[in-house]
Chain A
Amino acid sequence: MTVTQSLFYFLAFVAIFSSLLVVLAKNPIHSVLYLILTFFTLTGEYILLNAQFVGIVNIIVYAGAIMVLFLFVIMLLNLNVQTEPQKTNLIKFIGIITGGIGLVVLTGSLKASDPSNLVVIQNVDMGLVKNLGKVLFKDFLLPFEIVSILFLSAMVGAVLLARKETK
């Protein structure tokens, strides 16, 4: 087993473990911290796939912007109380069974399909910023501009929603 292979399995283990803890942790702040750990392990997976642009953007957008928003809202609402209401055990059981059955179906269909090939990276500098920037601004220019309109409308919507209503 080479270094990158063992690194992949280690990062996969940490990712699964910390994403389980996101769901299981009682305190929402602990959930956010485990979610940040999950994002960092996924960034490691991206870098192992030589997708450096996606890895860096994952750190900047998720761990930088989205997680700060989450932490900010949790601290603003003073939610760090341990005694939040729990769902009944029946609903928890049903949820776990539902998710487990879905996972079993997916892995079963995966086993039934062809035996998998190894991930061979076709061209090495595909995930670099230079190449992805060319693709983004040549083939995907219109979606890129539409995303900016989406951001503008999301910003207007967020300000409008979170504003205190004056009567």
Chain B
Amino acid sequence: MENITNAITLVPLNHYILLSSIIFFIGIIGVITRRNAIVVFMSIELMLNAVNLLLTAFSAYRGDAAGQVFVFFIMAVAAAEVAVGLAIIVMIYRNNNSIDIDLLNKLKN
């Protein structure tokens, strides 16, 4: 067990922050540039996962177990969000025969 921890210690915290912010902003770019509602949803999942990775890295860095419990709660909320969101997408498809999010401007008129 000691060998494992000694080997893990060699990655700087900055690299974890950099990795999660890159994945987070890839998710943001996906939300802005895609028109398919399902791909937009997947980009949101990417952003949630980036936050999860950052929370876990900080939790291991500080030695505080609360961060990993927060990750568990984020996963639970993401699962609930996906269930409701995909139901909404199915309903949009049934009404519009498409899941193009640019068609969803009916509240504007």
Give me the interface of A with B, judged by CB distance under 8 Å: 2-5, 8, 12, 15-16, 19-20, 22-23, 28, 31-32, 35, 38-39, 42, 45-46, 48-51, 53-54, 57-58, 61-62, 65-66, 69-70, 73-74, 76-77, 79, 84-87, 91-92, 94-96, 98-100, 102-103, 106-107, 110, 116-124, 126-127, 131-132, 135-136, 139-140, 143, 147, 150-151, 153-155, 157-159, 161-162, 164
- Known contacts A5-B11, A85-B102, A91-B33; A54/B82 CB under 8 A: no
In the complex, chain B residues whose CB is within 8 Å of the CB of A100: 25
Q: Which of B7, B27, B42, B78 contacts A2 (CB 8 A)?
A: B7
> Is A99's CB under 8 angstroms from B25's CB?
yes
- Known contacts A35-B46, A77-B99; A118/B87 CB under 8 A: no
> Is A123's CB under 8 angstroms from B73's CB?
no
- Chain B 26-61 per-residue mask, 1 if CB under 8 angstroms from chain A, else 0: 111110111110110111011001001100110111
Query: Total number of A-B contacts with CB less than 8 angstroms?
Result: 258
| Alpha-carbon distance between A61 and B42 when the two chains are bound, in angstroms | 15
> Is B60's CB under 8 angstroms from A119's CB?
yes
- Known contacts A4-B7, A49-B60, A132-B69; A99/B29 CB under 8 A: yes
Q: 12 pairs across A/B with beta carbons < 8 Å?
A: A2-B7, A4-B11, A5-B11, A31-B39, A57-B72, A58-B75, A69-B82, A70-B41, A119-B11, A126-B60, A135-B65, A136-B72
Q: Which of A16, A57, A117, A140 contacts B23 (CB 8 A)?
A: A16
The binding surface of chain B is classed by DSSP as helix
Give me the interface of B with A, judged by CB distance under 8 Å: 1, 4-5, 7-19, 21-23, 25-30, 32-36, 38-39, 41-43, 45-46, 49, 52-53, 56-57, 59-63, 65-66, 68-69, 71-73, 75-84, 86-91, 93-94, 99-100, 102
Q: How far is the CB of B73 from chain A (nearest CB, A)?
A: 6
> Is A117's CB under 8 angstroms from B12's CB?
yes
> Is B79's CB under 8 angstroms from A65's CB?
yes
Q: How far is the CB of B101 from chain A (nearest CB, A)?
A: 10
| Alpha-carbon distance between A117 and B11 when the two chains are bound, in angstroms | 9
In the complex, chain A residues whose CB is within 8 Å of the CB of B15: 8, 12, 116
> Is B42's CB under 8 angstroms from A95's CB?
no
In the complex, chain A residues whose CB is within 8 Å of the CB of B83: 69, 154-155, 157-158
In the complex, chain B residues whose CB is within 8 Å of the CB of A87: 33-35, 102
